[in-house]
Structure 1
Amino acid sequence: MSRMLLRDDQWARIERLLPGRTGGGGRAGGNDRLFIEAVLWIARTVSPWRDLPVEFGYWNTVYTRFARWSERDSWQSIFSVLREEADFEEVYLDSTVVRAHQHATGAAKKKGEQALGRSRGGLTTKIHVCVEGLGEAARFLLTGGHCHDVTQAEALLKDLQPGAVLADKAYDANALIARIQERNAKVVIPSKSNRKEPREIDAFQYRNRNVIERFFARIKQFRRIATRYDKLASRFASFFAIVASFEWLK
């Protein structure tokens, strides 16, 4: 039997959050816990779906169900409930660039923008994340790897009322700083070298920014996050949502 990841107490926390099949009769989807374990196995090992161990069930059945949940935003819904425990006394903004495998290309144009960008390193996807005070993801967005970090900052902070916002120099922009100050939040963002009048920051508090770096290090232990293999951005986002949810369960 393949190594399982979910403890009994973790399963008890998410069991009630799982959607059943809608429309028509039949069972609600078999062994839900085994299905979640199967998706986590794929995320952790980055094996092709066809190589899914037989104890998890027929690979195509598992994949089809995963895809159905992805289309319905079910993975994001689970993540949204778990992140309700977030502590917004401090929030951390940053992004990480993920190399796209050649299998991640070729999505039909009718599927829309797939969050892929071309740079000297090839095709990449950038994951923009807002991490809360407990060190877990509170919100995330996907863009092409060429997209500048600061362009997604306001979307990550939307509707939040943090006590302080910590980020690196990439987020040193007057418009963003003004938006943060309008929230009566403390700005802990160092000035760029070309700023005529550098702002003072709390250097001691800025040291806490390594919280988001540690978050990226943890989620990239799931190899499906460290490298993008999915053609559709929605599928890749679903994998990120389930891994971020798993982090909330620890």
Structure 2
Amino acid sequence: MLKDHQWDRMEPHLPGKRMDPGRTAADSRLFVEAVLWLARTGSPWRDLPELFGNWNSAFVRFSRWSKSGVWDRLFATMADEPDFEYVMIDSTIVRAHQHAAGKKGGCEARAIGRSRGGLTTKIHAVVDALGNPLRFILTPGQVSDITQAEALIADLPADHVLGDKGYDAKPLREAIEGQDAVPVIPPRTTSPQVPCDYALYCERNLVERFFLKIKHFRRIATRYEQTPRAFMSILCLVSAFIWTK
């Protein structure tokens, strides 16, 4: 799945290189390809094709990198030139497979909740003016979008913040204006009617397109990972992959 130019961007930011302290990793490119293959197909780890090597070794390495924050740092590094003319916030719900729901700790701690679709996780995301991802927050599926909005946009130097009517709330508008940005959020019919740049608001389709892109990866369209950390790691790798295309 990785083209040469994509790997050339990723490789310097992954551990296990010859100049790094400790053990040199065995074929990091093949390993990243393996995780991307699993993310695309939604297959169990045990079904990893032999050409990628031992499935358990790949799983242990993925988990180790996840715990040490390698995937998060890779995503942050790839997202190096965002377009802050405006940013868009939205959320999407993914169904949690029964395999994701069996770990101890409670559904809230694992970002799994019950909504109309059953066991679900909600991905809250903010993207830049080109539709590239900048930040994610995971919550149980029934959590309202507005509760995560301020955390999503915190410290982003955007000129405008676009959101749908679900983000129509006075505290959020004030938070956006407090960051020297302009809220582009249509008011609800039951709320005070405030100005909205509807021509710019039409650009909000880019965040919807981003959700379509990541849901081409079946391991994101359906959550199989038991821990939020592992699911976020898949999100970060796929998002880094999108940034390098």
Structure-1-length-normalised TM-score: 0.93
Q: Select 1:218's aligned residue among 213, 224, 227.
A: 213
Could you say which residue in structure 2 is the equivalent of 1:165? 161
Is 1:239 aligned to 2:220, yes or no? no
Q: Contact (CA 8 Å) 2:101, 2:107: kept in 1 or not?
A: no
CA-atom RMSD in angstroms: 1.6
Q: Which deviates the most, 83-92 or 109-118?
A: 109-118
Q: 1:185 Cα shift?
A: 0.9
Residue by residue over 1:81-124, the C-alpha shift from the partner in whole angstroms, topping out at 9 and shown as x without a partner, is 11121111110000000011111112122998100011232110
1:136 pairs with one of 128, 132, 139: 132
Q: Distance in 2 between matches of 1:111 and 1:227?
A: 16
CA distance in 2, matches of 1:48, 1:136: 28
Equivalent in the alignment of 1:80 = 76
SS in 1 for 2:149: helix
Find the aligned partners of 2:142 and 2:16 in 1 and give their Cα distance: 38
| Alpha-carbon offset, residue 26 of structure 1 | 6.6
- Aligned residue pairs, count: 242
Q: Give percent identity, aligned residues only.
A: 51
Q: Paired residue for 2:105? A: 109
In the alignment, structure 2 segments of 5+ residues that lack a partner are none
Pair 1:30-2:26 in alignment: yes
Mapped to 1, the partners of 2:7 and 2:165 lie a distance apart of 40
| Distance of 2:126 and 2:55 partners within structure 1 | 34
Structure 2 residue 86 is the aligned partner of structure 1 residue 93: no
Q: Secondary structure at the match of 2:111?
A: coil
1:178 maps to amino acid: E
Contact 2:90 2:124 in 1 (8 A): yes
Of the three residues 229, 237, 249, the one matched with 2:244 is 249
Query: 3-state DSSP class of the match of 2:109?
Result: coil
The counterpart of 1:145, out of the listed 138, 141, 145, is 141
Q: TM-score, normalised by structure 2?
A: 0.95
Cα offset, 1:220, TM superposition = 0.4
The answer to whether 1:40 aligns with 2:36 is yes
Deviation per CA, 1:174-230, whole angstroms, max 9, x where unpaired?
0000011112211110001211x2112111111000000000011100000000011
The Cα of 1:27 is off from its aligned counterpart by 3.5
Question: Deviations for 1:112-145, whole angstroms, at most 9, x for unmatched residues?
Answer: 8100011232110000001011211000110000
How far 1:16 sits from its partner (Å)? Answer: 0.2
2:223 corresponds to which residue? 228
Q: Which runs of 4+ in 1 moved over 4 A?
A: none
Residue 209 (structure 1) aligned with residue 183 (structure 2): no
Separation in structure 2 between the aligned mates of residue 138 and residue 127 of structure 1, nearest angstrom: 13
For residues 107 and 202 of structure 2, what CA distance do their matches in structure 1 show? Answer: 41
Find the aligned partners of 2:81 and 2:154 in 1 and give their Cα distance.
17
Look up the SS of the partner of 2:121 in the other structure. strand
Distance 1:90 1:42, change over 3 A: same
